[in-house]
Structures are given as C-alpha cells and as structure tokens.
Amino acid sequence: MNAIVDAGSFRDPAGRVFAAGEQIFRTVMPDVAHDYERFRDGGLMHDLIGKGLLVGASEAEAHGLGNLARGSAYVLEHPRVPFISYPYEWSFSLHKRAALHHLDVHLAALDAGFTLVDATAYNIQFDGTRPLFIDHLSFRDYREGEIWRGHRQFCMQFLNPLLLTAYLGLPANSWFRGSLEGIAPEELAPLLSWRHNLSWTVLTHVTAQAALHRRSLRAGAPSSSRTPTLPLTALRGMLEGLRRFIAKLEPKAARTVWGDYAGDNSYADAEAAAKRAFVGEMVAAVKPGLLFDIGCNSGDYSEAAFDAGARRIVGFDFDHGALEHAFRRFDGTATPFLPLWLDAANPSPAQGWAQSERKGLAERAKADALVALAFVHHIAIARNVPMDMVLDWLLAMAPMGVIEFPPKSDPMVQRLLAQREDIFPHYSEEAFLALLGARARIVRSQHLSENGRLLVWYDRSRSG
Amino acid sequence: MKDRCIWAGLGLLIVSLASPAYAYLDGATGSMLLQAAIGGFATAMVMGRSYLAKAKALFSRAPKKTDAQSRD
C-alpha cells in the first residue's frame, strides 16, 4: 500500500492524515492519546458519528502505513469524503450551514465535558448539503474557566465572511481564497457602518475585537503572562448567541447576473425537456457515482440527472444567486447535491504552505461523468479561451458526459458578442465536433431546436 | 431589541479598560481581551434569557421552544 501524506494536515502536531488508495487514515500521536481515549470511551465520538455530525472512524492496523505511522499511538481509518471542498468555494448557504454545524459540535462537546481546540472552517466538509466535522483530534478535555481558543479563528473563517455577504452584499469567496486564514476583524470593521454596530454580535465580535487587537499592538511587549478566564456559562452564551445570530443571516438582496436564468432565458420549454431527456439518457447509461454539473445554474439538469440515477452531484457555478437557488432546491432532499462557486477561467489553485496545503481544483476534480450545458460559450467567447483548451479542461475532469454547443446565431451567444468585436471565426459547430471527435468518441448528438443548439454525448474512456 | 439596548454598555466597558495586562503580540490577543471583557456580560445575558423564558412560560400554556433547544 502506497500511502501519501495529506499536505493540508500538518498544522496540528497531534496527528496527520494519509491517503492510501481509496482509504483515508489518521495517526494519533502519544501526546494526545489520552484526550483521544477519553473522547472515544466517553461516548461523545460515537454519539457525534451516530448522529451524522462527525465523519466515521475505526481503529486500524498501523503496519499498512509503514514509516508514516511511526511513533503514533493509534491509527484511525475514515470513510472518504465524496468531494473535498474549501470554504472559499462554498456558497453563502453552505458557509452558513458550516458555521452552525461548527457551533453545534462545540456545544455538544461542552455538554460532554470537552471543548474544541480550534475553529478552522477547513475542518468542515460536505456530503451534499449535509455538513460533516472531520477532525477527531480537535476535541480536548474542557477545563473550567478556559477561554474559547478558536474564537478569533471562528470570526475570521465563519462569522466575518458571512457578514460581508449579509451586510455588504459582497461574496467572500475571492477574499477568502486570497487570505486562507479568513477575514480578520480589523479588516472587516472599517467597512461596517454604525448601523451594523447596533447588533451586539457585530459590536463585540468584530468592532470591539478589532479595537482591542489594535490596542494590544500599540501596547507593545507583553506586560504579564496572566491568562484571562471565561466561565462555562459565558462560553456557552457566546456560542449560543453566535448561533442565533448566524441562523438569521441571509445574503443582502442583490440582483445577480443570472439568478433568474432558468426561468427567464432564451430556451423554449420543449428544448428544456429535450435537454433533460438527453442528460437522463447519458446518466442512465453511465450510472455515475459522482457527476459534475459545470455551470449548474439553479440545478434543473442536476435534478434530471438524479431522476435518471446519478448518485451524487457537485454543481459549479459563477453566479451566487444561482447557487442559492440550487442549494434550496436540493437541501433536505435525499439527493446529495453540493453547490460550489467556480470561475471556470480561474479555478481554485493549489495554495497555502509550499503551495500544497490546499489542493487545486484539477487535483480534486475527478468525476465519473459531467454535464456542461450552456457553458462553453461563456468561456470560449466571453473569456477568449480557445475551444480546444475548453474541451481539454472539461474532458480531464470526467471520461464521459454531455456538452452543449450553442452556435453563433443563438441569442445568448449574440448577447455576448454584442458587447465586443467578433474575433472568433473558428467558433462553429463543425470545428467543435472536430475538436471533440479528436479527443473522444461521440456517442450521440442531437440538435435541440430551430436555433440550432447541439448536445453531444462524449466518451473518452476507450479512445485514450 | 435587547441587543441594541446594551451595545452602549460594551462601548463604555472598552473605553474604561485599563492598559491591557496581557498584551501578547500574537494574532489572538484581541480575542482574549474581548473574552475577558465580555465574560460577565455573556453570563448576564444567558441568565437574563433564562429568566425571560421562565417568565414567558408562566403566561403561556404551551411553552415555546427556545432557539437553543431547537438547534439541530
């Protein structure tokens, strides 16, 4: 077995995470073995796993990891999370869900005499829209009076990004992606108005914290090592207060680029039905365990894919309003759909320490199939990416799928071209088919309507 | 709203803080100072909410679930 260290797991000396094929392992170092044993034997770990709040864990033999497990007290094996996503890829509702989940896990831990040593958003992953806490070594014995060590981190990685969207109408994704630790209170505070500070939560956790931070920097060197204390009642009060506050946050109403796209576009209903049937046919034949919906909009065609038997879908879109629609469509259903923000012309890079702490999209994006509907013209025309490069990028993510080609005469393409010079003489159906045909077998194609949109089902699994 | 009635209290508290006694220069200093400052407030708010819930329960036949109880 060839195990590889997860480059994102180095920060906590308590243990590391390893991938060995499809298996995921975690070492538990002797320093924290006692905390882990209490967490395991006291019932909290099994309770959280049983309720679906914490990813599963079973103790495994260390020998399979060879030297990688040397010195560890335990090795845990975890089920693989279907798709690793990062907070800077989450839609607002996913981020809010993650924040509430973190607080719920912390409150449950306090009930059982434990606390969380950190509050990193990277410890939350999703199965569809269902959040999962993934770090079993974040749980330590709670000591009466200890402060909330993860408080600043919680503010930077959960509260402040949510406030940016809820109060100022700005998506936090780009800022968060450029600042992997999140948004600091002293960065957010100057952007907020006095009205925002009428909220106790904002006044304390953002403005006061920022002021105290600045004040401490001005004060210079430490004058004492006295540690502040926080009674348990106060800690619970903070966590519950934040939970009540965050549960009410919604994105500030803003007109999005295509928030109403699915219901207000250039397609006739008959075309949409034909598209759903075509996607359904491919999905029924391929039976993908994981399907990518690139440019998922509000999830119409993901719904068709689920109906046809797709087990799991990750939907990507550039538009935050569309992602919110998609979240609401699938949340609470039995169909696991994960709505992620993606600028396809600039996907998440490999970044963080040594540029390997957080993986780039290409490294994580391996699906059984994909659908890319009403997508290629936005990249090929609006972003000037040559069609062969668009297809290479798409086909690298999944061996088979459906791609839609809208011709130049299509109203949506015309709308894109209306704002710019037509420098795309090679944007044609013939060229598209030739490029795709050179890369994959074309299983079936179908014109949708009078305006000539073309759906193509490709399969590169046998054509190399 | 209760939040809005007590914000001034915190403002006064911040203004009245003496020079920080534990001005570590790490990134969490502001967080630590804040927690030390609002610990008492947070406790008082929890107690206040608890009494308020009890008072409400006295005047209603079917007590309403609080947010804390209904968390999922």
Per-residue model confidence as pLDDT tens digits over A182-235: 999 999 999 999 999 999 999 999 999 999 988 888 876 555 556 788 999 999
Residues of A in contact with B7 (CB under 8 A): 197-200, 203
The answer to whether the CB atoms of B20 and A215 lie below 8 A apart is yes
Check residue A71 and give its pLDDT: 86
Contact A444, A379 (CB under 8 A): no
3 state SS of A17: strand
Give yes or no for residue A16 having a pLDDT over 50. yes
- What ipTM was assigned to the predicted interfaces of this complex? 0.77
How many angstroms separate the CA atoms of A160 and B66, rounded? 25
The alpha carbon of residue A266 and the mean position of all alpha carbons in its chain are separated, in whole angstroms, by 30
Token reading at A166: 């809820």
- CA distances A177 to A89, A164, A182, A238, A352, Å, are 8, 14, 8, 27, 10
Contact A206, A188 (CB under 8 A): yes
Give yes or no for residue B16 having a pLDDT over 80. no
- CA distances B9 to A87, A200, A234, B3, B4, Å, are 34, 10, 17, 11, 10
Distance from CA of B42 to the nearest CA of A (A): 5
Kindly indicate the confidence band of residue A6, based on its pLDDT and cuts at 50, 70 and 90: confident
Check residue B59 and give its pLDDT: 80
Check residue A225 and give its pLDDT: 59
Is residue A247 within 8 angstroms of chain B, CB to CB? Answer: yes
Percent of chain A at pLDDT > 70 equals 93
Residues of A in contact with B32 (CB under 8 A): 147, 227-228
Look-up of token digits 């600039």: A346
Residue positions counted in chain A: 464
Check residue B10 and give its pLDDT: 54
Per-residue model confidence as pLDDT tens digits over A144-165: 999 999 999 999 999 999 999 9
H or E element at residue A28? strand A23-28
Give yes or no for residue B53 having a pLDDT over 90. no
Arithmetic mean of pLDDT, A377-386: 94
Distance from CA of A162 to the nearest CA of B (A): 19
How many angstroms separate the CA atoms of A395 and A293, rounded? 13
**C-alpha triplet A379, A380, A383: angle, nearest 5°:** 55
Residues of B in contact with A230 (CB under 8 A): 35-36, 39, 42
Arithmetic mean of pLDDT, A260-265: 52
Kindly indicate the confidence band of residue A251, based on its pLDDT and cuts at 50, 70 and 90: very high
Look-up of token digits 């994960």: A338
Is residue A214 within 8 angstroms of chain B, CB to CB? Answer: yes
The answer to whether the CB atoms of A238 and B36 lie below 8 A apart is no
3 state SS of A116: strand
More confident residue, B15 or A37: A37
Contact A114, A142 (CB under 8 A): yes
User: Which residues are CB-neighbours of A221 under 8 A, at least 6 positions away?
Assistant: B23, B25
Residues of A in contact with B66 (CB under 8 A): none
The answer to whether the CB atoms of A208 and B45 lie below 8 A apart is no
Is residue A215 within 8 angstroms of chain B, CB to CB? Answer: yes
- Locate all alpha helices (DSSP H) within A250-298, ordered by sequence: 269-286
- CA distances A329 to A161, A332, A337, A350, Å, are 23, 9, 9, 31
The answer to whether the CB atoms of A217 and B25 lie below 8 A apart is yes
More confident residue, A36 or B52: A36
Contact B18, A215 (CB under 8 A): no
Contact A318, A343 (CB under 8 A): yes
Concatenated DSSP letters of B5-65: HHHHHHHHHHHH--S-S----STTHHHHHHHHHHHHHHHHHHHHHHHHHHHHHHT-SSPPP
User: Which residues are CB-neighbours of A335 under 8 A, at least 6 positions away?
Assistant: A128, A303, A306, A313
Per-residue model confidence as pLDDT tens digits over A290-301: 999 999 999 999
How many angstroms separate the CA atoms of A125 and A130, rounded? 8
Among candidates B36, B43, B67 on the partner chain, residue whose Cβ is nearest the Cβ of A233? B43
Interface size between A and B, measured as CB pairs under 8 A:
148
